[in-house]
Structure 1
Amino acid sequence: MAAAVSTTAIADDLRKLFEILPDAIRVPLEQHSLRDQLIEVVMDLGRRPEARFPSQADYLLETPVSRTDLQHCIDRVGHFSGDNRAGIEQTLHRISAMRNRTGDIIGLTCRVGRAVFGTIGMIRDLVETGQSILMLGRPGVGKTTALREIARVLADDLQKRVVIIDTSNEIAGDGDIPHPAIGRARRMQVARPELQHQVMIEAVENHMPEVIVIDEIGTELEALAARTIAERGVQLVGTAHGNRIENLMKNPTLSDLVGGIQSVTLGDEEARRRGSQKTVLERKAPPTFAIAVEMLERQRWVVHEQVADSVDSLLRGRQPHPQIRTVSETGKVVITHELSSLPATESLPAQTQQRGTWASGGWRTSGQMLPLSQKPHLVPPRSPRAEPLGSHPRGVMEEPSFEQMLQESFYQMERLEQPSHGSFNGSEGLGLAPKEGMPLHLYPYAVSRHQIDQVIQTLQLPLVLTKDMDSADVILALRSHVKSHAKLRQLAKNRQLPIHTLKANTIPQIVRALRRLLNLDDPQMPDGEDVGLFMKGDSEDEMEALEEARLAVEQIVIPKGQPVELLPRSASIRKMQHELVEHYHLESRSFGDEPNRRLRIYPA
């Protein structure tokens, strides 16, 4: 998708900035070949003056800056406010001061302010919707420049009553008369930076604006004032420091701008339905800003058209699908969508790299048998907080802290939906007819999601777990729960979903149920024998021993980092337990004398 962008025009008033500089610094700067690309001039006492450009920084003199040079500049600029910033009247340039411990100025940063017309062509359609817009980005990426242009477009082109809250005089310049770059928009100056939130409320109460423009929302009081303004029906356009929307979610001071985050305790039934812990993170309120724009680069912006949906997705461990807007060489706006990708710390499941089936004694792929020592790692260790309700029959897990839950939300991506491999067809047993190459969507009820996921990954079954019953093809539930929950049976009947039941919430029962569900039962294979590593044993003792080892790993060793000793077992059963522990990338050793020789599992 592409749209036209208006021609960009620049007004920088460089001459007025050069006039405040000492002649020894001004002359080489005026003669510099990159003068028109100047970003700022840095003058520190006792150091050489430096001119900074987008791609380089050059010294202007060999002699260091003196106090006389600094005073020459100070005398020609406006008053330095509480945030140590001053300006040049009727320009957009900003002069920032560094002071020593006694309050004397020992350094100046003379930053060039440019009025760039046509910069918001990439998001003009969003500006015209009347929704509140939040601009995010690192310092120097152009947030204030875009804010100034948005104010002008809203006031001049859309004929709206616009009031700018100009704390540092960066948007409309220094002096009593605002810079022409803001058009017909009005400007309210702020006496001290800590009073910005009061001026925001005063603007709404006294001047009847349709739009409020705010630069650098940085305190909790300013975030609360922004919400108050938004609740009164006034359109907000503001900026905040932070590269991505995730930065605001993790920032307790500014998280309210995107709705805020709170910890919620779910009921037992709701937790089972979601397949999550009882304590989850949710958005607290509607976002103050309906639209968020991440200014990654000057010509590459990421747009979240629905901030609420993006925040909800991130809290559930899913990546949102924002727009990416760039400007082509021909001046057109190109709009694409960002696809979900796994974080750098994770990789695709191993089964996407090597497919096959387990057989007794090894992994069979492409017609050859690999010994267990060379088996692929299909079941990575799982985060203890991700263990679903009902999977801990003994003991109680510690609830994670709010900060841990928030941090892990961004890395707990839902498992990618992989196309099925092999000729699986569950339509005969289910009355379903899934499309060729597409997996069945399974809705678990009162069954451990992670045990099901372990079986699906290990056995390469064409199934995808879903938390939404409306998108499910089949329901897998505990028999005891189905009997006592008439509501579940009624919902399944209304949606025409078949319900498959199992007696117990154990891996052997889940394996049998999923194989029956997909019509994969082999008449030549005895019931209870399966291709999974966890099902290699064909006796109750072997199954019990493997289940004991699995519970020890998942309930104690991984989440608590403590070693565990298992019950005494025979040599053949201990060997199976060793192989299962290796599956979790953990170490185990046998110790003791027969018949009391047993396994000890160590944390990573």
Structure 2
Amino acid sequence: MWQQEITDDLDLLVSVLPPKLAASLKRMNREQDLLEVVLDLGRLPEARFTDQEAVLDDSEVTEEEIEYVVSRIGDFGEDNRAGIERTLHRISAIRNRKGKIVGLTCRVGRAVYGTIDIIRDIVESGKSILLLGRPGVGKTTMLREVARVLGDVKRVVIVDTSNEIAGDGDIPHPAIGKARRMQVATPALQHEVMIEAVENHMPEVIVIDEIGRELEAMAARTIAERGVQLVATAHGNTLDNLIMNPTLADLVGGIQAVTLSDEEARRRGTQKTVLERRAPPTFDVVVEIQDFYHLAVRHDVAEAVDAILRGRELPVELRYRDESGEVHMEKALLPKEGREPSALEPGVAEPLAPLRVYPYGVNQNYLDRASEELGLPVEVVKRLGQADIMLTLKSYYQKRPQAIVDAERRGVPVYVLRSNTLRQIKSSLAEVFGVEKRVDPFALALQETQEAIREVLAGARSVELSPQNAYIRRRQHEMAREA
């Protein structure tokens, strides 16, 4: 049976409980399964385990017992959270209208070493990662382990708003390894500390627990734009929850309503007003933690968000650990209500119908090469009357020449490219054929960068590149410096 190394300092948490409750807890002999102890004034004290709840004493909790615990822990912050110095335990308070504490939740904090083995390849790839999952599923535990592992090889700064990652007190818990910890005076200032971390301490990685406000989502985007790897958790069980949350949707690109042309609406088979992604996502990868041993990975957040908004089922990578500790991976569709996850079986794709393209100002050699590399049936035509679509450049479209006016009058869809590059043409063809998933965005972005570098070396003053995520932008900067 595979086991993980766990550090929980549970004796220190038990020591702050009233003696009779501490003794009752020890008699149960289930410390490894303990999640939290709940003390509510006038109610029976409870211990919550992974599989059940148990009453610790037959007498109701008194004010003296609550005061006993409060006097033995740190001060409560504005978020009504406190801790025990040099431990990972968290004590949260419930107050009445006068501010008096009438309830306590004493949550066990554990450092579990080895939890990120299941996603180590993603963590070490340099991509920004967002962890999702229900409360208590292990998001913060995994985040802490990410900070420890990356801290050995990179400059890691933790923005620890509630002292839950590195524990209470000025000296951080050893579970974060060499990573540095920045504390936050009040939760409302978390976004400012996030920016301060980047500006003052030159981190390569920033670790954040609980992005829950719009200002924090905006700060995360600012950090990602600077090429820093982000690893964070957010409120939400799945990517679908995050998309529908107006406060946090910007983390995955945000959504907006757009009105399609009649032709485009017919091509997609949708109504004219649809929801689309507004911008590139802040995070490259989303990990949905289902339980301690199972999780779902979405490697391309942009593609996943687009698929959800268009009502398509997109396969995700399911990862799980068996009893021997071995990690297994498989592609599957996430389960919907009333059915089990279904593994994908290889099948034969339907042949695509040929597309007649009328290029206006577009490099025909690039067009031929793009269709060949993508394996798409594209036929270049010489006359507009024979075309299914027109492909042109932004500079031509803005001047409104007669050919473009004629195309719009005839109802021929006009696709506008930002630049006359192979990468732009491939992206446009992939969109027209609805085969975005066949295109490797990383390879295309690097190809576009190489073409831009050649143009600049040939004398061009500047070349505008397509918007990309933080990881790709970092590689583009490296290529530009090496050139």
The answer to whether TM tops 0.5 is yes
CA distance in 1, matches of 2:350, 2:105: 60
Q: Secondary structure at the match of 1:79?
A: coil
Match for residue 46 of structure 2 among 25, 50, 69: 50
Larger RCO: 1 or 2 (CA < 8 Å, sep 6+) = 2
Q: Secondary structure at the match of 2:387?
A: helix
CA distance in 1, matches of 2:255, 2:388: 31
Match for residue 232 of structure 2 among 234, 238, 263: 238
Aligned partner of 2:284 in structure 1 is 290
Q: Secondary structure at the match of 2:198?
A: helix
Higher gyration radius (CA) = 1
CA distance in 2, matches of 1:55, 1:307: 33
Q: Secondary structure at the match of 1:212?
A: strand
CA apart distance, 1:76? 0.5
CA apart distance, 1:443? 8.1
Aligned residue identity for 2:19: D
Q: Secondary structure at the match of 2:157?
A: strand
Distance 1:444 1:488, change over 3 A: closer
Contact residue 6 and residue 118 of structure 1 kept, 8 A = no
CA distance in 1, matches of 2:336, 2:38: 42
Render the CA deviation track for 1:113-165: whole Å, top value 9, x for unaligned: 00000001110000000000000001010000000000000002xx1111101
Aligned residue identity for 2:185: A
Contact residue 78 and residue 88 of structure 1 kept, 8 A = yes
What TM-score comes out, normalization by structure 2 length? Answer: 0.71
Larger mean Cα displacement after TM superposition, 27-36 or 107-116: 27-36
CA apart distance, 1:489? 8.7
CA distance in 1, matches of 2:2, 2:148: 14
Structure 1: where are the runs of 5+ without partners?
346-416, 420-434, 446-468, 475-482, 492-604
Aligned partner of 1:486 in structure 2 is 386
Distance 1:47 1:489, change over 3 A: closer
Match for residue 277 of structure 1 among 271, 284, 287: 271
CA apart distance, 1:320? 1.4
CA distance in 2, matches of 1:6, 1:229: 38
CA apart distance, 1:440? 6.2
Contact residue 355 and residue 388 of structure 2 kept, 8 A = no
CA apart distance, 1:31? 2.0
Q: Does 1:85 align with 2:81?
A: yes
CA apart distance, 1:75? 0.5
Aligned partner of 1:9 in structure 2 is 5
Aligned partner of 1:163 in structure 2 is 157
Q: Secondary structure at the match of 1:175?
A: coil
Render the CA deviation track for 1:416-436: whole Å, top value 9, x for unaligned: x9x9xxxxxxxxxxxxxxx9x
What TM-score comes out, normalization by structure 1 length? Answer: 0.57
CA distance in 2, matches of 1:124, 1:473: 41
Contact residue 2 and residue 323 of structure 2 kept, 8 A = no
Q: Secondary structure at the match of 2:295?
A: strand
CA apart distance, 1:6? 9.2
CA distance in 2, matches of 1:110, 1:17: 8
Percent identity of paired positions between Structure 1 and Structure 2:
59
Render the CA deviation track for 1:484-519: whole Å, top value 9, x for unaligned: 73322999xxxxxxxxxxxxxxxxxxxxxxxxxxxx
Q: Secondary structure at the match of 2:313?
A: coil
Contact residue 319 and residue 341 of structure 1 kept, 8 A = no
Aligned partner of 1:498 in structure 2 is none
Match for residue 26 of structure 2 among 24, 30, 46: 30
Aligned partner of 1:180 in structure 2 is 174
Contact residue 442 and residue 473 of structure 1 kept, 8 A = no
Match for residue 304 of structure 1 among 298, 302, 307: 298
Q: Does 1:208 align with 2:108?
A: no
Q: Does 1:315 align with 2:309?
A: yes
CA apart distance, 1:277? 3.2
CA apart distance, 1:48? 1.6
Render the CA deviation track for 1:198-238: whole Å, top value 9, x for unaligned: 11001111111111100010011000000000000000000
Q: Does 1:337 align with 2:331?
A: yes
Q: Does 1:132 align with 2:128?
A: yes
CA apart distance, 1:34? 1.1
Match for residue 327 of structure 1 among 321, 326, 335: 321
Q: Secondary structure at the match of 1:485?
A: helix
Distance 1:36 1:86, change over 3 A: same
Contact residue 273 and residue 444 of structure 1 kept, 8 A = no
Give the paired residue count. 366
CA apart distance, 1:316? 1.6
CA distance in 1, matches of 2:284, 2:377: 31
Render the CA deviation track for 1:374-402: whole Å, top value 9, x for unaligned: xxxxxxxxxxxxxxxxxxxxxxxxxxxxx
Contact residue 38 and residue 51 of structure 1 kept, 8 A = yes
CA distance in 1, matches of 2:389, 2:161: 61
Structure 2: where are the runs of 5+ without partners?
340-344, 357-373, 392-483
Q: Secondary structure at the match of 1:43?
A: strand
Aligned partner of 1:465 in structure 2 is none
Q: Does 1:75 align with 2:82?
A: no
CA apart distance, 1:60? 1.2
CA apart distance, 1:257? 0.5
Q: Does 1:154 align with 2:54?
A: no
Match for residue 246 of structure 2 among 248, 252, 262: 252
Distance 1:151 1:486, change over 3 A: same
Render the CA deviation track for 1:307-327: whole Å, top value 9, x for unaligned: 111111111211111100000
Q: Secondary structure at the match of 1:214?
A: strand
Computed over aligned residues only, the root mean square deviation of the Cα atoms, in angstroms, reads 2.8
CA apart distance, 1:441? 5.4
Q: Does 1:222 align with 2:122?
A: no
Contact residue 355 and residue 377 of structure 2 kept, 8 A = no
CA distance in 2, matches of 1:42, 1:326: 32
Contact residue 440 and residue 473 of structure 1 kept, 8 A = no
Q: Secondary structure at the match of 2:91?
A: strand
CA distance in 2, matches of 1:13, 1:489: 67
CA apart distance, 1:263? 1.6
CA apart distance, 1:35? 2.2
CA distance in 1, matches of 2:87, 2:226: 33
CA apart distance, 1:275? 3.7
CA distance in 2, matches of 1:27, 1:343: 44
Aligned residue identity for 1:207: H
Aligned residue identity for 1:127: V
CA apart distance, 1:175? 0.3
CA apart distance, 1:274? 3.2
Q: Secondary structure at the match of 2:43?
A: coil
Aligned partner of 2:96 in structure 1 is 100
Aligned partner of 2:371 in structure 1 is none
